Amino acid sequence: MISDPTKTAPCGLLPVVTVRGVRLHASTEEQAILFILGELQAGRGGWVVTHNLDHLRRLQRDLSFAQICATADVVVADGMPLIWASWLQRSPLPQRVTGSSLTSSLSAAAAREARSIFLLGGAPGTADAAAQVLRDRHPDVRIAGTYCPPLGFEENPEELERLTACVTAASPDIVLVALGSPKQERLIYSLRPMLPESWWLGVGISFSFLCGRVRRAPVWLQRAGLEWLHRLVQEPRRLSRRYLREGLPFAGRLLAVSAWRGLQNLSLLDRVLNRPPS
**Residues 198-209: tens digit of each pLDDT:** 999 999 999 999
pLDDT, mean of residues 270-274: 56
| Residue 219 domain-assigned (yes or no) | yes
Taking the CB of residue 56, how many other CB atoms lie within 10 A of it?
Answer: 22
Given a cut of 90, whether residue 212 has pLDDT beyond it is yes
What φ, ψ does residue 241 adopt, rounded to 5°?
-65, -45
Out of 6-20, 73-87, 213-227, 237-251, which region has the weakest mean confidence (pLDDT)?
6-20
Range of the domain at 166: 16-262
* Overall domain count for the chain: 1
| Residue 278 domain-assigned (yes or no) | no
pLDDT, mean of residues 80-97: 96
**Residues 120-171: tens digit of each pLDDT:** 999 999 999 999 999 999 999 999 999 999 999 999 999 999 999 999 999 9
| Residue 6 domain-assigned (yes or no) | no
| Residue 208 domain-assigned (yes or no) | yes
- d(CA 183, CA 163) in angstroms, rounded, equals 14
| Residue 87 domain-assigned (yes or no) | yes
**What does pLDDT average to over the chain?**
91
Please give the pLDDT value at position 223: 87
Taking the CB of residue 194, how many other CB atoms lie within 10 A of it?
Answer: 12
CB 95 within 8 A of CB 29: yes
Closest CA to 51 of 22, 9, 28: 22
| Residue 67 domain-assigned (yes or no) | yes
Please give the pLDDT value at position 19: 95
| Residue 10 domain-assigned (yes or no) | no
Closest CA to 254 of 77, 75, 67: 77
Closest CA to 182 of 204, 167, 201: 204
Highest mean pLDDT among 17-21, 226-230, 232-236: 17-21
Q: Does this model's pTM top 0.95? A: no
| Residue 159 domain-assigned (yes or no) | yes
Task: State the pairing for strand pair 22-25/16-19.
Answer: antiparallel
The DSSP 8-state label assigned to residue 155 in this structure reads G
